[in-house]
Amino acid sequence: MHKIRVLLADDHAIVRAGIRRFLESVEDIEVVAEAADGEQAKALILAKQPDVAVLDIQMPKATGIEVTRWAKTQAKGSGILILTAYDDPPYVMAVLQAGAHGYVLKTAGPDEIIQAVRDVYAGKSVLDPAVTGSLLAQIFPGREAFPVEPLTERELEVLHLVAKGYTNKAIAVQLGISDRTVQGHLAHIFDKLQATSRTEAVMRAVSLGWIAQDIGTMLE
């Protein structure tokens, strides 16, 4: 069985030890390296090429946001999961814009963090349900101010798959349509929801009750 190779980056050794203990309690995950600061995290990501890098936000030398932004161009093969105590919308938005694949709070249970690692490895994007509500207000401060044209049944199918972390190609395969058709549906969805990104479209749909708030996944 292929094990998900994980790098842990947190400036507190006791925190890394605790996370490592429960991650390695399951058979399909192994921690291949630990970093105590952002620059060390970059070096180890290049050296170890982990499947998933689990990063804290506040670290010496380079923050988790800076490491994420760097990894987006220098280490595209590694998924980035932010594991932090910060639930403030500006942090969440900054992380997602930097290119992270997931954002989970340290208050999450071990099983939730383990699943988040698995989801990021599987190509999905993860958002802790605890920050969804506040993030909605940040993205759509006036979301009740304008009417929204309903989506078609097919557009809703596409949007639900987007929310689950599916790529355009995966959506096409799942629905038996072409990539071009998926792109067309997304264009209509963005227009109807007045969104400029997959994240905004998903979060707008959550705010309208079209997608469950605890879906736990979100794309940048």
Q: Summarize pLDDT for 17-39 with one digit per residue, the tens.
A: 999 999 999 999 999 999 999 99
Give the pLDDT score at 147: 56
20 and 121 assigned to the same domain: yes
117 and 157 assigned to the same domain: no
48 falls within a domain: yes
Q: Which of 128, 157, 186 is the last residue of a domain?
A: 128
Give the pLDDT score at 95: 84
74 and 32 assigned to the same domain: yes
87 and 176 assigned to the same domain: no
Domain count, the chain: 2
Neighbours of 107 (CB within 10 A): 10
97 and 173 assigned to the same domain: no
Phi (first) and psi of residue 108, to 5 degrees: -65, 155
pLDDT more than 70, % of the chain: 86
The per-residue b/e assignment along 17-51, b for 16 or more CB within 10 angstroms, e otherwise, is: eebbeebeeeeebebbbbbbbbbbbbebbeebebb
94 and 191 assigned to the same domain: no
105 and 67 assigned to the same domain: yes
Q: Which of 95, 128, 161 is the last residue of a domain?
A: 128
The better pLDDT of the pair 5, 195 is held by 5
What's the predicted TM-score (pTM) here?
Answer: 0.66
CATH code at position 191: 1.10.10.10
